[in-house]
Structure 1
């Protein structure tokens, strides 16, 4: 697979269009999210010029995974739509804290059960997201997600901890959690780190 990161102005517009189609297929058609978007095309108010994307392309250059990073010192998904998931905790508003949203990766389309390959691809996407966040100056991420994604990150060894208890959103348990970009997370994902950064 091939990984692409950047803002929309830095990514081929055909890829960006394909990303909107992929997100519709995953989040609306398959997961049943009641999103307000045109048929076959999912974007929202947080797909801005400063939004940073991670996109996974397979061997046929078809999109098979994605993630979105938003700075928390501007409006973001959690701050505008899911404040209740904070359980009374303060919303982050800092240039070094970014929100991770619209995270998904699809199983291999090459046939058969390739669980090891799919796991490796998922880890690669998470590593790419964390590396991109580091390049953006982030030292932690905040996410709102189904509890399954929280378990997935913990299985990788990523330093994840909940902000509050899960709550039901659209008949599914959803939780807000922190992803610490620290030595534990870097080591778990095999991300090289300069010695000065480990002291932070």
Structure 2
């Protein structure tokens, strides 16, 4: 009497399931728009669904950052000239299968790189944005993903689709936002200088 063969199945992988579940998420923060309660930068995390981008709570946002994932990373500076023209200076790169928590110093280096390409007095805010992907990376020759939550006039510099611009756009320029960032930048540079000096002395 022949025995029936049992179908072999791959063992369930929580890590693989998690990787797929959070395969189209993004998280970002702006230095010049701190929390009014704590004064710290606010990290916003979202996941893309059939109904558009949905906000994630702080627990899921932290979970998103804790595990290795495929990341698109961008550091960006919002700029405005004295005649009101706006643009964005940025630096983007890919980071496949990596925990973003392990590249803490990368932001400092990229931030300096972006600011070196721009007059500081024309910057009115700066921050970073990260987006995940799974499988084959989506073709995006204009790198539009890192324009998310930037002002309409900045996005309008790369695309003309008004509906898409409205979906992507975030808060625009204000004197308060610029003053907040300029103050943040002074404190950031002082703290960063102190950290480097203490590191060299250790």
| Structure 1 length-normalised TM | 0.28
Q: TM-score, normalised on structure 2?
A: 0.28
Where relative contact order (Cα < 8 A, 6+ residues apart) is larger, the structure is 2
